Amino acid sequence: MSALDFSTKIGSKRFSNPIFTASGCASSGQELSQFFPLTELGAVVTKSIMTKARAGRATPRMAETPSGMLNSIGLQGPGIDTFLENDIPWLIENNAKIVVSIAGETVEEYGVLARRLRAVSGISAVEVNISCPNVENRGQVFSCHPDTSTAVIESVRRNIGGELPIIAKLSPDVTDIVAIAKAVIDAGVDGLALINTLLGMVIDTNSMKPKLAGKTGGLSGPAIRPVAVRAIYQVHQAFPNIPIIGMGGVATGRDAFELVLAGASAVSIGTASFGNPTAALQVKNELADLLTQKGFKDFRDAIGFAHRSV
């Protein structure tokens, strides 16, 4: 039997395999690098970076939930200057494929960040996080409306030029995710990241108060995987030629395979890495074995396969 071609493409860039980190769950990769070489991953998706350093939200800002967790980190980070000075050189030195995630409080900030990244070598793509649910100002969730989603992507596209693929990260907390996807595709994205966390809340029945200092947070983990599968399936059905990086509750190769069958061209591992730092490698190996068992010789033949059997 011939070897499996495990490569995938997002825009003009090719990745050796479809397993990425999820933004925010491995910082810029240094924590995971002590457990395995980052070259084993298709790409490292960095924690969303902003124009200035950000302390994030007050503690406590994490809470366990059935089959998942809530986080209310609030985009804590060092800011673009420190990130470009320290994190990008380290990732390049470790031969990682780099997808830089960016976030902003205004449309203009996204444009500034895109302009800063334009001349940086060694980056494979830019993820535009317009869907973070655990910021203090819910007005920052640009992906909840087609007009604001479009404005951000158009700003990024104007400022970044035509070389780097742009990936829009969308929220599941909308009535029609296909409409939002259409808006950002029309604005010029090369791919989509589906899905960000869902807005949730936990109340401590002993103290009778919210467990998180910020009250609400982003729900992740296995509990949200059916939502991710639904969103990916719907968007792939509408736009079969747009690459999707799928994420949401993936902990095994079978979980990843489900997202691929729905239409994902790559799969990001997030919450699973907190309990098992080698989760991404486990998922990668299990997915490769499963694809081979199912008779696939090319990973790309499995993308959206569930649509062909309907």
- In contact, 76 and 52? CB cutoff 8 Å: no
CB-based contacts of 109: which residues, under 8 Å, 6+ apart? 50, 51
Structure tokens at 58: 């007050």
Q: Which CATH architecture has domain 8-56+74-198+220-309?
A: Alpha-Beta Barrel (3.20)
In 3-state terms the chain splits into helix, strand, coil percentages (rounded to 5) of: 40, 20, 40
pLDDT in tens, 45-94: 999 999 998 778 889 999 999 999 999 888 788 899 999 999 999 999 99
pLDDT in tens, 130-186: 987 655 444 457 878 899 999 999 999 999 988 899 999 999 999 999 999 999 999
Q: For residues 268 and 283, give the distance between their C-alpha atoms in angstroms, rounded to a whole number.
A: 10
Residue 112's alpha-carbon distances to 76, 107, 117, in angstroms, are 19, 9, 9
Q: What positions carry a catalytic annotation? A: 132
Percent of the chain with pLDDT over 70: 96
pLDDT in tens, 97-110: 999 999 998 999 99
Structure tokens at 81: 């200057």
Q: For residues 2 and 9, give the distance between their C-alpha atoms in angstroms, rounded to a whole number.
A: 21
Give the pLDDT score at 131.
83
Percent of the chain with pLDDT over 90: 85
Q: For residues 248 and 22, give the distance between their C-alpha atoms in angstroms, rounded to a whole number.
A: 9
Give the pLDDT score at 2.
62
Q: For residues 196 and 290, give the distance between their C-alpha atoms in angstroms, rounded to a whole number.
A: 26
